[in-house]
Amino acid sequence: MIRLAFRIEKNNNVVCSGPDEKIYFMINQYPFINRVYRFYDGALLFDGYSVWFKGGGEEIKKQKAFSLSFFFVPFGYSDQGDGLFFCLDGENKEGFYLLIQKHGKVQAGFGNGREIFNLSSINAHAKKDAYNMVTVIFRQEEGWCDLYVNGVLSNRKQFPRHMWIKWPQREAYLGKYVNNGDCGEESEAGSFYGLIKEILFHEGALSEEEVKKLHGEYPLGERMEKILPERKDYKNDRQRPVYHLIAPGKWMNEPHGPFCFQGLYHIFYQSNPHAPIWNHIQWGHMVSKDMIHWSDMPLALETGDESLDPDGCWSGSALIDKKGTPWIFYTAGNNNKFPNQFVAMAQAQIDEGKKLSVWKKLQRPVVEQKEGWLGEFRDPFVWLENDTYFILVGTGDKDNGGGNAVLYSSKDMLNWQSHGFFLNYSYEKNREVGHVFELPVLLPLKDESCCIACHIFLLCACQVENDVVETYGFLGKWEPDKFKFSPYHEKALLIDLGKGVFTGPSGFVTPDGRSVVFSIAQGKRSGRDDFYAGWAHNGGIPIELFIQKGELCVRPVKEVYQLKKKRLLVLKNVSAEEADRQLQKYSGNCLWMKVCADAKRIILDTIDGSRKKTVYYDRENCRFGWIDEKGIPQGRYRGPEDNVNIGSGLVNMEYFLDHSMIEVYLNDKKSITLRNYIQGRERRIGIAGEAAKILELELWEMDSAYK
């Protein structure tokens, strides 16, 4: 027997080998800029994307019969399957592999050059978050391949007696699925996520008694706390925001389900704890006292092998019911059904700290699709009003060709009545909203007298043709007793003019009566860049929506100003040229600036060496836009509906810089959200203007929201 274990060499390389190094694997050398090696009681953490090993494996390849065992803890699964051992050429049907698949299923296979033989676990599967042992025995003489999982013979595959495995002329891999085509070595998918403590290789085939004795020597089933990414791993990443809502690492999308319970704000998000890619989505969870400083919680929802949601826990929302209990409403995915999406629920288990770390699923669908585009039915938004529960669910409307949402009501949250499509609008005049609505949201908007002036129906465009995904809104009159929403205008409104970064809305009414919206800030860089960085996407600053002088207005929530750390510069009554000279003294990656100017045109530059990204306001043309690093005008502008008219008043701009995030707010009327990936170490700000006088300028360094 050869016992393989992991160790760090003096050159900081991690290797896997036995005492005599007859079998030797070295960690891959790709430039994962935030990769960290972690050991737990001798077990190495395979982080699901950057840690895998390769080597010749010649000692294994020369055996007619062999037994290969892994002692490991899986923390998560991908849809494609993740490699434990992989040396296969699928095209030429050569080699051998061992995979861990969704819900702990184990698969092995081997090829003789003419055919590939596969077998998957049946009688026992690996258990997530616990120690397991899997043994594959290739019995060449008998013509059997046995698969044991935790002491149980889980499956057996027969093949012609005395058949050899034909091994390909390629390296073997540990912790990575590397096949021909899309799953090559540089693929973002196929890496194991969990701990591997030992790998055992036996020459020859173990007997059933020997396998059971071997498995009995290990603490199988011993639970391990899931090891999630640590924020400190990214401390030197000059692109990663530090005061925006952001997952501890890997994948984040669509913050949703905000609510406040006994003094704590809760937010959930689409998480892939396995890797920084979209795959096998779960519900991440954070809590905060102020919507700015967030603490990470365990996953709130995970897909299960049961019939409810084996293929995804997608977006949704949350509420506190009439009895004071928090509930999650989410999109459950089950590809064994059609339609394959429906609304499901989970109830909070109220713990002593009121952090709601455990949620119990109701094991049946709550609302199943009967209207809209079948198979497009997701992102329930739920609220309680006048003793009635309401749900909006995004879908498409075959009658007008565009997206829509279906409205439901209930008195008990369990029996729901449909009231048909929520929005009556012309898709021909709003083709940019897409064929399917995602993340529908309905919020009341207050005016200067703190009275509800109207409601806003928000949506995220999906299945958009020849355009980018945006968040749109319709102002209108909501009549709950009539189950009716009447929009005030034909064209959908934009809140943000940054062009496809501000998306994925979710909202709620805070305890002090503000209508607050969370969003996802799309990363806007390549998937390869996300992969090598180890994280993708983050939330925008929470914003408050309200009505002023009959118009929709937007501003950052007031809590964000707690992050002002150090005042760097104060100017009053200076020219734009003088303000720019003063700003040249300061640089950083976490800045806030407020500018009040009397100007015909005002320009704010974010400067990285010789490169700059520009946000501007042109009073004469009522244009609030931006210009990219190549000098090409960008921004979202469909026509007069996207004009920003501040009249003869002063220009007031708020500028937030958080590493790759830029957010600019103009006179509480519109925002522009951008990405700014730099090549240098820090950014600086420039200012210019036409007929401009800077009446007031403040520049502050901002603090991190995560300690």
DSSP per position, 330-370 = EEEE-TTSSS-EEEEEEEEE--TTS---EEEE-SS-SEE--
pLDDT digits (tens, 9 = 90+) for 645-659: 999 999 999 999 999
Distance CA 615, CA 182 (A): 40
pLDDT at 229: 85
Count other Cβ atoms within 10 Å, centred on residue 469: 17
Mean pLDDT of 207-212: 96
Largest CA distance in the chain: 91
Strand 24-27 with 14-17, pairing: antiparallel
Strand 535-536 with 543-548, pairing: unpaired
680 dihedral zone (left: phi>0; alpha: psi -120 to 50; beta): beta
User: Where in the chain are the domains?
Assistant: 2-216, 245-540, 563-702
Q: Which amino acid is at 99?
A: L
Element spanning 438, H or E: strand 436-446
Q: Domain 2-216 adopts which CATH fold?
A: Jelly Rolls (2.60.120)
pLDDT digits (tens, 9 = 90+) for 51-110: 999 998 888 998 999 999 999 999 999 988 999 999 999 999 999 999 999 999 999 999
Closest CA to 647 of 663, 669, 629: 669
- Reading the block at residue 135, the tokens are 């043994």
Residue 182 scores a pLDDT above 80: no
For 156-182, b/e burial (b = at least 16 CB within 10 A) is: ebebeeebebbbbebebbbbbbbbeee
Give the count of alpha carbons within 13 A of 452, CB side only: 14
- Reading the block at residue 267, the tokens are 């937010």
Distance CA 110, CA 145 (A): 9
pLDDT band at residue 235 under the 50/70/90 scheme = very high
Mean pLDDT of 161-165: 95
Residue 679 near residue 265, CB atoms below 8 Å: no
Residue 483 scores a pLDDT above 90: yes
For 541-577, b/e burial (b = at least 16 CB within 10 A) is: bbbbbbbeeeebbbbbbebbeebeeeebeebeebebe
- CATH no., domain 563-702: 2.60.120.560
370: Cα separation from own chain's centroid: 29
Sheet holding 378-385: strands in order across? 378-385, 388-396, 403-410, 417-421
pLDDT digits (tens, 9 = 90+) for 517-575: 999 999 999 999 999 999 999 999 999 999 999 999 999 999 999 999 999 999 999 99
- Phi first, then psi: give them for residue 72, nearest 5 degrees: -155, 165
Dihedral sign (CA 245, 246, 248, 251): positive
Distance CA 157, CA 320 (A): 52
Q: Which amino acid is at 8?
A: I
Strand 250-261 with 535-536, pairing: parallel
Q: Specify the residue for token string 């009249």.
A: 647
Element spanning 132, H or E: strand 132-139
Residue 380 near residue 391, CB atoms below 8 Å: yes
pLDDT band at residue 181 under the 50/70/90 scheme = low
Q: Is 544 helix (H, G, I), strand (E, B) or coil?
A: strand
DSSP 185: T
- Reading the block at residue 196, the tokens are 């591997």
What is the distance in angstroms between the CA of the first residue and the CA of the last residue of the chain? 47
pLDDT digits (tens, 9 = 90+) for 394-431: 999 988 899 999 999 999 999 999 999 999 999 999 99
Residue 344 near residue 366, CB atoms below 8 Å: yes
Is 215 exposed, middle or buried (CB count within 10 Å of its CB: 0-12, 13-18, 19+)?
Answer: buried
Angle subtended at Cα 119 by Cα 115 and Cα 123, rounded to the nearest 5 degrees = 165
Mean of pLDDT over the chain: 95
Instruction: Tell me whether domains 2-216 and 563-702 share a fold.
Output: yes
| pTM exceeds 0.85, yes or no | yes
Distance CA 694, CA 572 (A): 7
pLDDT at 388: 98
Dihedral sign (CA 683, 684, 690, 694): positive
What pairs with residue 316 in β-bridges? 330
What pairs with residue 459 in β-bridges? 472
Dihedral sign (CA 530, 534, 536, 542): negative
pLDDT digits (tens, 9 = 90+) for 429-460: 999 999 999 999 999 999 999 999 999 999 99
Q: What is the DSSP string of 656-693?
A: EEETTEEEEEETTTEEEEEE---SSS-BEEEEEEES-E
- Phi first, then psi: give them for residue 578, nearest 5 degrees: -70, -40
452: Cα separation from own chain's centroid: 34
- Phi first, then psi: give them for residue 359, nearest 5 degrees: -130, 130
Distance CA 381, CA 504 (A): 13
Distance CA 229, CA 223 (A): 19
Element spanning 216, H or E: helix 208-216
**Distances in Å between the alpha carbon of 634 and those of 464, 613, 624, 638, 672?**
19, 10, 10, 12, 11
Closest CA to 413 of 485, 501, 320: 320
pLDDT band at residue 12 under the 50/70/90 scheme = confident
pLDDT digits (tens, 9 = 90+) for 42-53: 999 999 999 999
- Reading the block at residue 617, the tokens are 């306001």
Count other Cβ atoms within 10 Å, centred on residue 586: 15
Residue 51 near residue 175, CB atoms below 8 Å: yes
556: Cα separation from own chain's centroid: 22
- Reading the block at residue 471, the tokens are 């968040």
Q: Domain 245-540 adopts which CATH fold?
A: Tachylectin-2; Chain A (2.115.10)
Q: Which amino acid is at 160?
A: P
pLDDT at 696: 98
pLDDT digits (tens, 9 = 90+) for 298-352: 999 999 877 799 998 999 999 999 999 999 999 999 999 999 999 999 999 998 8
Mean pLDDT of 232-243: 96
pLDDT digits (tens, 9 = 90+) for 239-259: 999 999 999 999 999 999 999
CA-atom Rg of the chain in angstroms: 28
What pairs with residue 276 in β-bridges? none
